[in-house]
Amino acid sequence: MKNHKNIFLSLAFYVVALACYFYLVFIPNISSNAVFIPTLVLILVGLFFGFRSINAKESKWAGHLVVIIGGVILISPLLILMAGYGAL
């Protein structure tokens, strides 16, 4: 566990970010910024730990995998929006 500390932290921040997002979405009368900003910060912290795991040489493939997962989570709203408009 100690060898892959940054990878586990990155995955934990992604899980917390998604849980935070789905929890905040269902609160009535809440602005979209109050949902978007905490989720974005948590995902960016997860990406930070993903890049740290690559630089610390904990596990190259796992570090790259968590960075790719974070990138997909970060870009997914844009992809869904583009798919809705038929741009994809």
Non-local (6+) Cβ contacts of 58 within 8 A are: 3, 4, 5, 6, 7
- What is the arithmetic mean of pLDDT over 60-82? 85
- pLDDT tens digit sequence for 19-35: 988 888 888 888 877 88
Please report which helix (H) or strand (E) contains residue 74, including its range.
Answer: helix 60-84
- Place 63 in a pLDDT band, splitting at 50, 70 and 90: confident
pLDDT of residue 9: 92
How crowded is the C-beta side of 24, counted as CA atoms within 13 Å? 17
Helix, strand, coil percentages for the chain (3-state, nearest 5): 85, 0, 15
